[in-house]
Structures are given as structure tokens and as C-alpha cells.
Structure 1
Amino acid sequence: MKSVRNMQSYKRPYQRYCLGWAALACATATAATAQEAAPGPATAPPVVVEGKRASLMTAQQIKRDQLAIVDSVVADAIQALPDFSVTDALQRVTGVQIARDRGEGANVAIRGLTQTETTLNGREVFTAGTGRNLDFADVPAEMVAGIDVYKSASAEQIEGGLGGTIDLRTRRPFDFAGRQLAGTARLVHGALAGHTQPQWSVLASERWRGAGGEFGALLNLVHQRRAWREDQNSFGAPVLRGDLVPGRQVAVPSNTGESASTGRRERDAASAMLQWRPAPGAELYAEGRYEQFFTRQDTYQITLGIAPAFVPGSVSLFDGSSDVSRVSWLGAPASILSFARDTVDRNRALAVGGSWQSGALRLKADLSHSAGHNALYFAGPTLTGRTATLRTDLTGAQPSVTLPGNELLDPGQLQVAGIAYRTRPYDGKLNALQFDASYGLDGWLESLSAGVRLGRRDAGNAPGLVFGDTPVPAGLALAAAPSLAAAYPFSSFFPDGGQGPSNYLVGDLAQARDAAALRRLAGLTAPLPAAGGALGVWRIREQTDAAYVQARFNGGTLPLEGNAGVRLVRTREAVQGMQSLPSSGAIAPIGVDHAYHDYLPSLNLRYRLAPDLILRGAAAKSVTRPNFDQLSPSLTLVPNSNTPSANTGTAGNPALQAIRANNVDFALERYLGPAASATLTVFHKRVDGFIGAASQPESHDGAVYQVTRPYNSTRAVIKGAELGYQQMYDFLPGWLGGLGAQANYTFVDSATPSSLLGADTPLPNLSRHSANLVGMYERGPWSARLAYNWRDKFLSSINSTIGLGVLPVYTDGYGWLDASVGYKLSSGLTLSIEGGNLLRTVRRANFSSATRPQSLWTNDRQLSVTAQFRL
């Protein structure tokens, strides 16, 4: 029960963290008052902007000033729309695509590649798990001052971003000229969930002069709660039947599944920073951050299989196909799984550092510690039964699945098949030390820079996946354990034109978060397992040592600027796991050390064709290391005593090499005004070493096994173009002068070999076309945004089916509409009405044809009222 108690007490670390930083902020404010000195003038202009129009100007200026190819978005633009997390804000950046999870953004990809480097204030950050990156959904949108998406690389940047680097910038006290107090209060209503939840944020910053120089302190706190619901209609891979239509083989979904999931999401975050300038040219800082992202989920899922018998005359086909559109089954089996599924991410970090400048020499140092924890809890009962009649109609815009009888409402006709219980943790930490130096020169060579970075990262999953699913012996009649059942809790399923059954009993989840109590209700007395299988546990210690040199130069009489450099990285991985020894039945530890080097050259050029017309070129080599679970050395061997040639095994591969890419970019940028621009970027990436599974013979424990491991093999070519445009139409007369627009479009063509299809396929989850269109209005006290995000269809997965061969699964293109309207009551107070997913988009996937549906999803429409204040 330890993992359950940890999940239930998830708030305690956040509360302690916030209290500690609140005490620090109060002490700092007291010290400032004691100085009794008015804040002096800022030694650098503030970078925090106020107003939506100003945010466009700032983001455009960042893009224009960079030598690399960069897109930026700043805080006021993020808060102009109902974005809950950083992922939601990233969806509107050119070249970025996201997936959807419970109605929010998830899984960020730059130009189709999810292998991105993620940094916060230039410092590497992560979420604990099998991967290496930060889950941007962990970070509330109110925590960031800006987001920079680097499409091209420089030698000074931390390596790891195959697709690019995303840097989150938080606010600092020296960003403000003096004291600053700001915050938001929001009520969010989930229309499908039927609940309203509060959200708030507050930022307090102070800046003052004293005898020891200039000081600054900042505290930022965010709390979000959101009720959510997601309904999913799913269909099993099609199978061939020869008895439904005389003389024909026709395809019919192997099963129908429906799940309604509801719950809440909570984000709690805190960041604090102290800055000190003891003298001109010198600065020291200390900062800390904490994020916790908790998702509570209750799911009621019914799976209805096909049956040997069907109602004569009930079978229809889609026109011109052999795919069944309507059928009524007799005696179809039903499985009802109800479960609680809770996840939590906790990230924390501390950093100290500083900079010193004297003349042309500038030195910087940063020491940081980051740690993360991720946990999953899953538990619930499974009921089974059989339907008298099951009717399926796939012809409409939404599927119709009905149960004419009420046999699944009768406890006497249902059995308790088992009780599920699973927990799984991930942990990780990173210690990093970085030194950078630069020296300014005269002439065509403007400066030389160099630096070193030492990183020490640990990751592991002990005690592994604790799998405690337990069947009920011989099946338990539900009538004998009525407290395990409840009525289906929703008035309707998929209320967007679909029709699903609700006349069935589900598992009662009142006890689901007390796994031992839930098992007792089913008569199970065996203790819960405390650890997972030893063969599934891994621990990785990774050491990265990097050094770089970089030169910034100009073209002399030519309007040319650029930088060129090289980054040298040595990676050493020590991985530990377990292996099975079939000859003795024992399990023994296994450990492997592996090291490799990477040379990462980069070049960025900027040529001014005219004062407001810029041509850019960039070339670089980038790298991403394998995921931690892919590097696991754990080896599971399954001997076949009757046929030794059928011995099999599974394992990770600690000898995996990094995935590497050669990248070329060209961009043409026309600046039409302080907040107006039109841009075109073309890119080409050649990626080598994508990881895929393969089976090869290996000798272990005195025998030969066909062992499946991940290997570097697949290559891919990714190329495309990005178009961007933004402008405020100030030149229009009267109220029309408040109109503005942002638009971008991305085309990505990708190809990678598929062993299943025997041909090239697009990268999975990558849309060939995607676009954003944002309409803006800023006039007097009024402001408004209407944002439409769209992505074309994409390949989700590839399935192999008996009789039908290989069937790719495609998700259809879809759009997402968000909007906000705000009114400034005073210089420091604005009220807004916001809406997310206003179209209540239905996402659809199919097995290569609209007549073979695979899944449909619908999510909440989110409506909110927000007050923003600034003092």
C-alpha cells in the first residue's frame, strides 16, 4: 500500500515547497524595507512587456536579432488565449505539431520529430520516464515569460535536439524596473464533465539598492484545477468472415469498445529567484522551481465482441466495398472494465550561478541540480457477461451501438472476472556544471566563445511495473458481490451525434484507490505485490562531457553576419539490469558500460538583402540519445524444451548508438513593421539511426535464442517548408485599426523504410500539412483572439491482420478552435471570457479506409472567466 499512500499525499511536497519560498520572499521583502532606499534605475532595460500588441513586437524582435532560425512567443500572447500548459501555447508556433490528451496538448514535435532538447533558462530539464525530455504539459502557461523554438543549432547550445531546441524562459526580478505584483484568477467549466474548477496565479517581484549593490527577489506561484471528460469509440482490427454474406468474404470489426473517462487535472508550480549585482559587470543568482502535475481518471469501458451467430438479414455492406456497415449479433460476449488511473509528475530544480564582464571578456558559470518522479496507479474490477442482441450501425457520421435487452443490468447474468492492480514509478536526477567564456574582438572576427559542460544523469524504474492483476477463481457471480457494481454514471455516451449503450452495470470505483479493500470485496485475501518482476527493472547512469568553440563574424563590407563552431561530446552510459538463466532457473545481474563521441559542427548565416529583408542559411549536425528503456540490458529468455530452435528472448540494447541528423535550413524574412512580418523557411534533414526492433540469434546460457532487441537501422529524410505572417492593421480607419492577424503553414514530407509494408512510409504521428490562423483585435479597452489550429491526417500505427495483411492506421485531419474576449476595466485590471475546443472536435482514426473505423474521440468544451491584475 506504500505506492497508494504516496499517490494520495501528493500535495504535501508542494505545500512544503511553497511555504519555504513564501518565507524566503517575506524575509527578502522585510530586508528591502529595512534598507529604506528607493529602487534605483535599472541597469538594463526590462524585457517583460505589457499588452498583447507589445508581445508581438517582442517576439518578432527576438526572431529578427537571432543569428539562428528561431520562433518565439511571449507571456502576454500566451495568456491571450485559454492555454493551460506550455504545450497548448506551442501548438501555434510555426513548424510545431502536438497531439491531444484529455482535451489538452501533448507530445510536442518540431517538424515531425519528437526528439527535441528541452531547456529552461538555457538549462537542461526533463520529466522522469523512459524518455529524456520535459513533458511540457507539466508546466503551467502562467509560469513562463516566453518560449523560444530554435530550428537551427549553434555550438553553444546543449546537444540532444534532433528536431530542435525549445527553451522556456521564466521571469527574473531584474526584468522589471521595480516592484511588480501581478496575477490571475479563473473559473473553468467543462461542459461535458459538468464541473467548474478554480485556477489562480500570482507573481511578486521586488528590486532595490543597498550598500552591497543591487538586489532582486521574485516569487511565482500557480495552481490549476480542471474537470475533464473524454469519450472514445473504438473498433478492433477487421477480420474476414465468410458466413455473413453468401458466397463472399467480408470484413467486420473484431470488436466494439466504448469508454467514458472523467476526472480532474491539477497543476501546482512554484518558482523563485534571487539576483544580486554587487558591481557593474558582475551578477550572481540563485533560483528554484517545483512543478507537480496530477491527473485523476475514472474510466468505464465496455468491449463487445463478435459472435458466431447473427440475425439473418441484418448484414449490410458499404457501397462498393466488402466492409460490413450494419450487423446484429446474437450472444456477443461483453467485458466491462472499470478502473481508476492516476498519474503524477513531480519536477524540482535548484541552480546557482553568475556572470562577470570586464572590457571585452565575459565569463559565466552555472551549477544546477534537477530531480523528477513519475508514478502510475491503476486498479479496478472486470465484469463479464453475454448480450442477447448487439446492433452495430457504422453508416452515420457517428457509429451507433445499441443493446436492445437489459441482460447486462442483471447482476445474476454477470460475473466478476478479476481485479486489476498496477503501479509503476520512474525516477531521475541530473547534476550539471557549465562554464562559458567569450572575448570581443575588432574587425571581421567579432568574438570568440568557448565553454565546457559536465552532466551526470541517473534514471531508473525500481521497483518496476508492479503487476497485481488477479483473476477471481472460477468466476464470481456479481449477485454474490453486489457492492462491486454500480449503474453506468452518465446520461449519454458520445453526445455529439453518436449512440452508445448505457444499459449496463459498471464496476464501482468508490474503493478503487484502496486496492486491498477492493480485492477484499471480491473475496481475494492474498497480499498485494510490493515489487515488479526483476527482469523489468533497470538503472542507468549517464555521463556527458562537452566542450565547444564558436566564432562570431561579419562580412566586412558585405551586410553579412554569422557564427560557426563545433561541439565535442563524450557520452558514457553504465546500464544495469537482470538476466534470466534458464539452465538453473536463476536470475543474475547484468551490467554494461558503453561510450561514444560526437562532433557537432554548426554554421548560421544572416545576410541583409535590404534593411527589412533578411536571408538566412544554417547547417548543423544534431544528435539525440536513445531512450532509457531501450538501453536496458535486462534479458528475458524463454526456452522451448520440445523445439530448441524455437527458443526466444527479449532485451534492450545498451550498445545502441545515438540518432544523428544532418540539417540544412534557408529562410527569407521580410519585416513590414514593428509587429508585422512575412517569412518563408525551407529545410532538409537526413536522419540516420532511427531505432527499430529486430530479432537475431544469440548464444546465452549454453543455448541459442532468437532474441528481439532494438537496433539502429532505419533512416529517414524529412524536408519541407514553413510560411509565417503577422500584422496589426493600424492603417485601417476607425475601429478597423484594431484588427490584426497571425497565420502560419507548415509542409513536411518524410520517408522512412517500413519492414511491415516493405516500402517507405511517413514518420508516425506527423501530418504532412498543418496550419494556424489567429484573428486579433486590440482597440481601447477591448481585446480579442480567435485561434484555429489544424493538422492534416497522419499515420498513427501499422497493424498486421490475418487474411487482410498489413493495415496502416491513419488519424483524419482535424481542427481545434479557441477564443477569448477581454475588457480592461482599469490600467491594472482586465476581465476576460475564454473558450477552448469551441467546436468540440471529434477526432477519427481508421484502418486505411473510412469504411473501417478504428477510433473516435470527443472532449470537453472548456469555458472560463478570467480576471488579470497588475499592480
Structure 2
Amino acid sequence: MQSKLKLLPGAGLCALLSLGSLPATAQTVAAPAQPDQKKKEDTVVLQEFVVTGQRASLASAAEIKRGKLEIVDSIVASDINKLPDYNVTDALQRITGVQILRDRGEGAGITIRGLSQMEHTLNGREIFTAGLSSTGGASRQIDFADVPAEMVAGLNVYKTSSANHIEGGIGGMVEMVTRRPFDFGPGLSGALSARFVNGDLAKSTKPQYSALISDRVKFTDGSELGALVNITYQKRAWREDQKGTGSPVARTDIVTGQTVTAQNSTSENTVFGTRERWGATGVVQYRPSKALEVYGEFNYTKFNTLQDTHQINVTGSNFTFVPGSAVLYPGTSDLKSITWNAPTVSVLAFARDTHDWTKQFAAGAKWKGENLSVNADVSYTKSYNDLFFSGPFFATKASAMAGATFTQDFSTEVPSSSTTGVDLTNPANYEYTGIAYRYRPFYGDLTAAHVDGTYKTNSSIFHTLLFGVRDAVRNATNKPGLIFADYSFPAASRPAATQYASQTMSMPFGFFPYTGTPSIRNYMSGVLDGARDVVSYRNLFGITSAIPTSASPLTLWNIKERTDAAYAMSNFKAGTLPLEGNVGVRFVRTNEKVSGYQGTTAANAVPININTTYNSLLPSLNTRYTLADDTFLKFSASKTLTRPDFGSLSPSITLVPNPINPALNQGSAGNPNLDPIKSTNYDLALEKYFKPGTYAYVTVFYKEVKGFIVNSAATETWDGQDYLITRPRNANPAKIKGFEVGTSYFFDFLPDPFKGLGVQANYTYVDSETPNATLNSNTPLPNLSKNSYNVIAMYENKKVSARIAYNWRDKFLSGQANIANVGRIPFYTKAYGWMDASLSYNFTDKLTVSLEGTNLLRTKRESYYGRTTLPQNVYINDRQVSAAVTYRF
């Protein structure tokens, strides 16, 4: 079956009939489901053409890129669901310039061209998760891992900004778009899908379901009413093994006359559990006339990670090792292998759970006159995040370790470790050292309203004026703070593990399977069945002390932030020249009301309240020069900003006086006087479109960023005393430059059935540099690979659809560590690749079955201190295989 299409301005979301994990037959591309703030003035007139199968989705994404004046990359629903993407981060990893981290076998956290500071929107509205950010405060962004991939109809990643974009992203903006009933034709339509996912390390199969129902009715008076409900549920069992080698230490006692960099410990973690996601969207649209539309909308996400961890830590003696066992890497002073005497062993077993939920309610109206159009929208967003941690800590008895040894070899595929002279499977050799309990919540809400207008002028140059205002009030708090209620048993009266035999078990998992590397796989650990019932669990061990209801006031903060923004922008055409674009400016006033406490103890904590206001002017220019009907040259320039995370703005101060030497007085604090991070951005792109879904592009970019936030110490005077206060401060300018290239191509010149073959590929090069005061040198931005690429091999015909996707990134700076007798050194994550694949078969136009796989290469992620002869951590995750069935109606 074939269908003629006309792609509309900005390009559509691929008919939105590709629901859940549905494959698409030939389809008519619908008008784009544009967020309320976006205007459809950047029109490209296209000729009629024929598209079949999944190529309609590729053509739709290409036309979004082609039609926008900004530099943007997009992915639409059917392509998102053509690969086994569990969450939105998984889908974003394949967009040019986007790099992701991984957590528990899934995508977790993204950067655009190396910057994590970006704006996130859902249907044009700001959206966030009230969770822990990288700086320790409540996040300004949504955790894309919260959002099921099936929940979204499309993703747009804006690399450049316009005045009508919500401010907040120096790296760019990620726009999520959900389905709406007016995206579908008249009548009832929908889809049901089910997927069953098996993890080979978790050895468990879990279900995932999604359902979408949409109905659109046209009345005799010409008015229309539509309603849509989309519900998604995911459950996935997972496992992640992690091995750490301990921090290096400079030693002069291992090789005579030489300083050796030695590591003398191992930390081996088996981490497993389940992840559950819920996503729900409800939308009602009413169009009483062609000029007016009103709507109401509800979006909900919930994400729970339930995790059990069993960890054994073995540390060699600080003083003695087996003579002659030490071997160095040739030509280095780094330890290759050694056997230590008298090691110590500790075992940690703990439940570590996180819970996120975010709700957003919105209502609005759109009116379109002959020359003037107005959109108005009001929304309320509320979010919550918490962390739960509970479980027992063990240690081997000193008597059990007499005569034991601990051997390490850092040169094997995974650093190997083994013990002799002690039976780690005998509970009589262990004693309890403590019972842990910690709990930490974050809360946040946002009330926002905006009105946007578009006016068509009589000018031949500035033909359209766009203008708008937005008011938003955001509240964030960490109260009641981190509840820390760990209980340590006195050294002289620690319970033996045999005293609570029902609460101990032999480790049932083979650590780091499929590698053959020796590890400490057999040991005793704690039973965690009751650890989530905290009071009963503590009572079991005779712990009756009350759990605090709040952390110290000195750690608490509350912030109310109000932003008032106005923008004016014009779309223009340069007379007879094939040049068009938009130029505008956004003005933003930000008011921060922050409250906290200062003092030396909780008992003498004194409240602090600080009120600050600052203004920002953000100009932008986006141009497109048509070199030919299918070839465009784009240039963009803009100024953007990102506000500090809320935890960094906390005014709370903890003072630690030194009664013996006041010169050593210290303290720590947030900084309510932080300035926003600001960036000046330039982009130049060349885009060539050969036919629907087939195109190539190259983009060059340059950014100057000022005001990156780092922790540093400076002398401050409090109550007449000098203190060395560590707090976040604006510092560290950065320059970021690079280029992106990409293509999407189908081999239509091949004979049947090979003409269904195609490829998508992109490559990004990013060179970044920022001063690093602690390392006393310039370093690249953290978590940024200089080189990264994606290759997706595709095959499409009427019955079969297949994808193999390979994502690769170069090594990157992960952080830095302060090592005893060594100093502060950087640590890096090695380059690695990740492969996913899918195969689906259309039994009918309505019924499709699919087979999918993630992490097919069983990727090892490895990090090291400064140089590869000093390994740090190694991770492996499940290889996951799933089967799915989808029925649409």
C-alpha cells in the first residue's frame, strides 16, 4: 500500500499512528504537534511525494530539521519505538551531539555538545524532577529516565535558541511532545502493546504494557471535540556488577629505592533489583470554530528503582606483603600484582531505593484571526524525589584473619583478586559492625502562565511579529533533609553473625560472570527481606533509639524563585535574496528568595533570609540561506543562560571553630549570590536534502561560557572571627568548539528486496577547555567525549522492519580524586560502544510482533586514575532480550 503525502511546515510527527511499538505501513503525515509557544512561520514549500513504511517517520524527522530556522535534530514516535528504548534518554543517545551516561543498563543523564545545563520542556512547558542534581541540590531539569519512551510522540533537540524559547539552557533545549486527539482523524483509534523483557544476569522476565485510546467527534454545527488517554507501565529486572580497585597510594617500602604507586584493596558489588515506570497523559481538545480552540491536559510520570546491593571490601595490610610478590608494569612505577598479608574484610548489604513522581496540569486556548493569533496557557507542576537506604554492615573477626593473604593482579581483563587462609563462607568468622538507615527527600513545584501572539504585517521584510510574556513561580526545598540514623555497635560488644543466623546468607550470585577473572565470589552477606521495614528491622537487633524526624537545621534550605519574561521577535525575508530568518530579544527578571540557617551547632542555628534580583537580556538571530531548492546554509548567534541549582543557592552556613588555633577555623555554605552561567553561541550549518528521509548535513559550532560553578575556599568574617569558608562560586570560563556530520540514506538503487536497506550515521567532535584550579591546569569538561558517533543499519519492507544501532563514545574525564601521598589526580572512563537491535514482522496492518535486544555486546565500562595502569572501576550489565506484540485499531 502506498500513499501520497505533503509534508507541512515544520514537518509532522509521522501520522502518530505508530503507537507504542507499532510499525507503520504507508501513512499520511499529520500536521506537527507543536508546543504552544512554537510558531509555524518557518515554512518550507515541498513538492508532493510518496513514502511507504517506516520511511514516513524518517521523512517527518528530516522535515522538522529542514523546516526550522533553528538548528535542531528530531526523532518521532515510530523511530523511538523501532529500537528497545526504555526511557527518553535511550532514544536521545542517537541524536547528533548528544552523549549519555548509563545507569543500571539504561541511559541516565545527557549532555548536548558537552553541556548538561539545558532547558527541558513538555509540550512547550517547563518540566523538572525534584531530584538530586550533580551539584547536590534539587534539579532544574527533568530526569529523562523518569519518562517511558512510549509516552512521547516526538523529541526535538534544539542546538540554537530563539527569543520565544524559555530561557534556561546554555547547552540547548530538549522538547518532548506527547500525542493529542486532534493529531488523529475522526472517530475512535488507538493501540495496545505488551512487551516481556528478560535480563540474563537478573535471570528474570518482567512485563511492560501500554495503551492509547483517542476519539475525535465533529458535530453538525462544525465544532469538534477530542479526548485522548495514553497509559504506559514498565517493569524490568536488572543486575549490574561493579569492581573497584581502591585508591592508589605512593609507597616507598615495596621496591627498594623506588616510590611505587600501589593499590591495596578491592570493592566488589553485585547490585540487582527492579525498575518500574508509569506514564500517563490525558488530553481534551475542543474547537468550537476554526478560529478558536481550548484544551485541558494532564501528564504524570512515576519512576521507582528498588535495589539490593551486596558488597565485599578487602584491604591489604598497610605494612606487610609477601616478599617477592610485588611486580611492576615494565617501565613504570605502577604496581601490576602483589600479595598482601593480614587483610581486613568488610561486607555491606543494603537496600537502596529511589522514587520520583512528577505531575503537570495545564489548560489553555488558541485563537487565530486574519492577521493576529494569540495563545494562552497556564500550568502547575509538582514533583517529589526521595532516597531510601537501609541494611547491615559486617566485618571479619581479627582472629579469623590471622595468616590470611590477599592477592591482586591488575593486568587481567578485569582486575583479579583472591584470598587465602580464611573461610569467607563461614558466618562464625563475621561480626556485625552496624545497621544503616538514611532517608533524603526533595520537593518542588512550579506555577507558570504565558501568553504569546503572532501578527502578520504588511512589510515585505519583517513580515511576521512574534511577542509574548511569561510569569513563573518555582518553589524548592530539601526539608526535612538527610535523615542519618546509622547505628554502630561498640567494638567491644559487636554481635556475632551467628547470633542472627536467619539474617545472614551465602552470596547466591557469581560475580562478573562470562569473564573468567578470579574474584571473591563466595562470602557471607545480609538478608535484606526485612530491611525496608526500618523500625522492625532495627528492633530485631535491639536498636531502640528513635530515628530523627529532621536533619540539622544547618543543612536545610527553602527557595522561592520568580521569573518574569517578555520577548519580541520578527521573522524576516531579505527582499529578493533567498535569505530568511528570525531576530529577537528576550528580557528576563529573576527574583530569588532563599532561606536557611547559620551557626556552629544545630542548637544555636540562626535563620538567614536573602532576597536577590537580577535582569538578563538574551538576543538571538537565526538565518537560513537557500542555496538550491534542497540545500540550505544556516547561521545562528545567541546569548543563553542557566541558573544555579537550588542547593548551590542555599544560604545555610555551618561554622567549625578551632578552639586551639582560630587560624584553622573552617566552614561550608551555599551561595545565594551566585550569578547565572552565561554562554555566547555561534553555529553554521550546511544541510542537503536529496529526497524524503535522505539527507546529509555538517554543522560547525563555537561557545564561550562564563560563570561555571565550582567549590572553592576563601576567608570570611563571621561574628568577629575569620573562617575559611568553602562554598560554590562563579569561576572557570570555558570554550567549546567542534563540528557534527550526519546522514540518512536508503539504497533505493538496489533491486528488490535489497532496496529496503538503509543507514543513519552521525559523528560529533567536541573540543572543550576550562581552567581547573584543583588540578592547576586546563581540562576538558567532565563527562564529555571528544569523539562520538552513531551508526544505525535499517531494513524496511511491507512485512519486515529491522534495526541494528551502535553507539560509541571516546574516553572522557569522569572527575578527580585527592589521593594520599599522590595529590589530586583526574580519573577517566575508557571509550566504549553499546549495541541494540530489533526485528519486527507485520502479520496484518493491525498486528505486529517484535524481537528486541539491548547491550548485545555485553559492554564493559572501565575507568582509571590518570593512566591505564591504575584501574579504578569496571561495570557490566545485563544483556536484555524482549518480545513484544502490538495491536492497533
Task: Identify whether the pair has TM-score above 0.5, normalized to the shorter chain.
Answer: yes
**Residues 648 and 47 of structure 1: is their aligned pair in 2 closer, same or farther, counting only changes over 3 Å?**
closer
- Aligned residue for 2:420, secondary structure, equals coil
Alpha-carbon deviation of 1:862? 0.7
Deviations 1:14-63 (A, max 9, x none): xxxxxxxxxxxxxxxxxxxxxxxxxxxx9985769994211100000111
Q: Which amino acid aligns with 2:485?
A: G
Which of 155, 180, 186 in structure 1 is aligned with 2:189? 180
Quote the Cα distance in structure 1 between the aligned partners of 2:863 and 2:381. Answer: 39
Alpha-carbon deviation of 1:413? 2.2
Alpha-carbon deviation of 1:761? 0.3
Alpha-carbon deviation of 1:389? 1.6
Quote the Cα distance in structure 1 between the aligned partners of 2:545 and 2:628. Answer: 77
Task: Give 1:89's aligned residue.
Answer: 91
Alpha-carbon deviation of 1:498? 2.7
Task: Give 1:625's aligned residue.
Answer: 643
- Aligned residue for 1:826, secondary structure, equals coil
Alignment of 1:691-770 (within 5 A): 691-770=709-788
Asked if structure 1 preserves the Cα contact closer than 8 Å seen for 2:29 and 2:56, the reply is no
Which of 147, 150, 154 in structure 2 is aligned with 1:139? 147
Asked if structure 1 preserves the Cα contact closer than 8 Å seen for 2:743 and 2:761, the reply is yes
Alignment of 1:313-328 (within 5 A): 313-328=324-339
- Aligned residue for 1:535, secondary structure, equals helix
The more displaced of 303-312 and 278-287 is 303-312
Does 2:388 align with 1:369? no
Q: Which amino acid aligns with 2:370?
A: G
- Aligned residue for 1:407, secondary structure, equals coil
Task: Give 1:119's aligned residue.
Answer: 121
Asked if structure 2 preserves the Cα contact closer than 8 Å seen for 1:230 and 1:857, the reply is yes
Task: Give 1:498's aligned residue.
Answer: 517
Task: Give 1:868's aligned residue.
Answer: 886
Q: Which amino acid aligns with 1:496?
A: T
Quote the Cα distance in structure 2 between the aligned partners of 1:290 and 1:146. Answer: 17
Alpha-carbon deviation of 1:411? 2.6
Task: Give 1:25's aligned residue.
Answer: none
Q: Which amino acid aligns with 2:227?
A: A
Task: Give 1:32's aligned residue.
Answer: none
Task: Give 2:501's aligned residue.
Answer: 482
Q: Which amino acid aligns with 2:800?
A: W
Task: Give 1:447's aligned residue.
Answer: 464
Alpha-carbon deviation of 1:467? 0.4
Which of 392, 395, 403 in structure 2 is aligned with 1:384? 395
Which of 143, 154, 161 in structure 2 is aligned with 1:153? 161
The more displaced of 50-59 and 691-700 is 50-59
Does 2:561 align with 1:548? no
Quote the Cα distance in structure 2 between the aligned partners of 1:850 and 1:299. Answer: 28
Alpha-carbon deviation of 1:476? 2.4
Q: Which amino acid aligns with 1:115?
A: Q
Quote the Cα distance in structure 1 between the aligned partners of 2:32 and 2:561. Answer: 39
Asked if structure 2 preserves the Cα contact closer than 8 Å seen for 1:381 and 1:484, the reply is no
Task: Give 2:348's aligned residue.
Answer: 337
Which of 267, 270, 286 in structure 1 is aligned with 2:280? 270
**Residues 50 and 188 of structure 1: is their aligned pair in 2 closer, same or farther, counting only changes over 3 Å?**
farther
Alignment of 1:706-855 (within 5 A): 706-855=724-873
Task: Give 1:14's aligned residue.
Answer: none
Deviations 1:280-307 (A, max 9, x none): 1210010001110000000001111120
Does 2:414 align with 1:395? no
Does 2:136 align with 1:107? no
Alpha-carbon deviation of 1:494? 4.4
Alignment of 1:650-661 (within 5 A): 650-661=668-679
Task: Give 2:16's aligned residue.
Answer: none
- TM-score, normalised relative to structure 1: 0.93
Task: Give 2:170's aligned residue.
Answer: 162
Quote the Cα distance in structure 2 between the aligned partners of 1:620 and 1:347. Answer: 31
Asked if structure 2 preserves the Cα contact closer than 8 Å seen for 1:232 and 1:494, the reply is no
Asked if structure 2 preserves the Cα contact closer than 8 Å seen for 1:106 and 1:136, the reply is yes
**Residues 850 and 495 of structure 1: is their aligned pair in 2 closer, same or farther, counting only changes over 3 Å?**
same
Quote the Cα distance in structure 2 between the aligned partners of 1:581 and 1:255. Answer: 36
Deviations 1:164-212 (A, max 9, x none): 0000000000001122111321000001110000001011000001256
Alpha-carbon deviation of 1:618? 0.1
The more displaced of 750-759 and 595-604 is 750-759
Quote the Cα distance in structure 1 between the aligned partners of 2:821 and 2:658. Answer: 28
Quote the Cα distance in structure 1 between the aligned partners of 2:834 and 2:678. Answer: 33
Asked if structure 2 preserves the Cα contact closer than 8 Å seen for 1:52 and 1:80, the reply is no
Report the number of matched residues.
829
Task: Give 2:611's aligned residue.
Answer: 593
Deviations 1:686-710 (A, max 9, x none): 0000001111111112321111111
Asked if structure 1 preserves the Cα contact closer than 8 Å seen for 2:29 and 2:60, the reply is no
Task: Give 1:280's aligned residue.
Answer: 290
Asked if structure 2 preserves the Cα contact closer than 8 Å seen for 1:269 and 1:290, the reply is yes
Alpha-carbon deviation of 1:581? 4.9
Does 2:484 align with 1:467? yes
Quote the Cα distance in structure 2 between the aligned partners of 1:374 and 1:119. Answer: 19
Asked if structure 2 preserves the Cα contact closer than 8 Å seen for 1:829 and 1:869, the reply is yes
Which of 580, 593, 609 in structure 2 is aligned with 1:561? 580
Q: Which amino acid aligns with 1:486?
A: M
Quote the Cα distance in structure 2 between the aligned partners of 1:517 and 1:312. Answer: 50
Alpha-carbon deviation of 1:608? 0.3
Alpha-carbon deviation of 1:279? 0.5
Task: Give 1:685's aligned residue.
Answer: 703
**Residues 343 and 558 of structure 1: is their aligned pair in 2 closer, same or farther, counting only changes over 3 Å?**
same
Quote the Cα distance in structure 2 between the aligned partners of 1:265 and 1:153. Answer: 35
Asked if structure 2 preserves the Cα contact closer than 8 Å seen for 1:436 and 1:451, the reply is yes
Task: Give 1:6's aligned residue.
Answer: none
Q: Which amino acid aligns with 1:171?
A: R
Quote the Cα distance in structure 2 between the aligned partners of 1:400 and 1:326. Answer: 9
Alpha-carbon deviation of 1:408? 2.4
- TM-score, normalised relative to structure 2: 0.92
Which of 199, 202, 221 in structure 1 is aligned with 2:208? 199
Deviations 1:104-149 (A, max 9, x none): 0011110000001000011100000322001001100000000000
Asked if structure 2 preserves the Cα contact closer than 8 Å seen for 1:581 and 1:701, the reply is no
- Aligned residue for 2:732, secondary structure, equals strand
**Residues 44 and 763 of structure 1: is their aligned pair in 2 closer, same or farther, counting only changes over 3 Å?**
closer
Task: Give 1:649's aligned residue.
Answer: 667
Task: Give 2:40's aligned residue.
Answer: none
Q: Which amino acid aligns with 2:658?
A: N
Deviations 1:823-869 (A, max 9, x none): 10000111110000000100000012111100000001010001122
Deviations 1:782-840 (A, max 9, x none): 11000000000000111232332332101000000000011100001111100000001
- The answer for unaligned runs of 5 or more in structure 2 is 1-27, 35-50, 132-137
Q: Which amino acid aligns with 2:731?
A: S
Deviations 1:495-551 (A, max 9, x none): 433321122111111111011222223221212222212111111000000000000
Task: Give 2:451's aligned residue.
Answer: 435
Q: Which amino acid aligns with 2:232?
A: V
Asked if structure 1 preserves the Cα contact closer than 8 Å seen for 2:852 and 2:883, the reply is yes
Alpha-carbon deviation of 1:653? 0.3
After superposition, the CA RMSD in angstroms is 1.6
Q: Which amino acid aligns with 1:340?
A: A
Asked if structure 1 preserves the Cα contact closer than 8 Å seen for 2:245 and 2:415, the reply is no
- The answer for unaligned runs of 5 or more in structure 1 is 1-41
Quote the Cα distance in structure 2 between the aligned partners of 1:169 and 1:823. Answer: 27
Task: Give 2:306's aligned residue.
Answer: 296
Task: Give 2:529's aligned residue.
Answer: 510
Alpha-carbon deviation of 1:573? 0.4
**Residues 633 and 502 of structure 1: is their aligned pair in 2 closer, same or farther, counting only changes over 3 Å?**
same
Task: Give 1:261's aligned residue.
Answer: 271
Quote the Cα distance in structure 2 between the aligned partners of 1:776 and 1:194. Answer: 30
**Residues 459 and 211 of structure 1: is their aligned pair in 2 closer, same or farther, counting only changes over 3 Å?**
farther
Quote the Cα distance in structure 2 between the aligned partners of 1:183 and 1:728. Answer: 30
Quote the Cα distance in structure 1 between the aligned partners of 2:507 and 2:741. Answer: 48
Asked if structure 2 preserves the Cα contact closer than 8 Å seen for 1:46 and 1:174, the reply is no
Asked if structure 1 preserves the Cα contact closer than 8 Å seen for 2:241 and 2:511, the reply is no
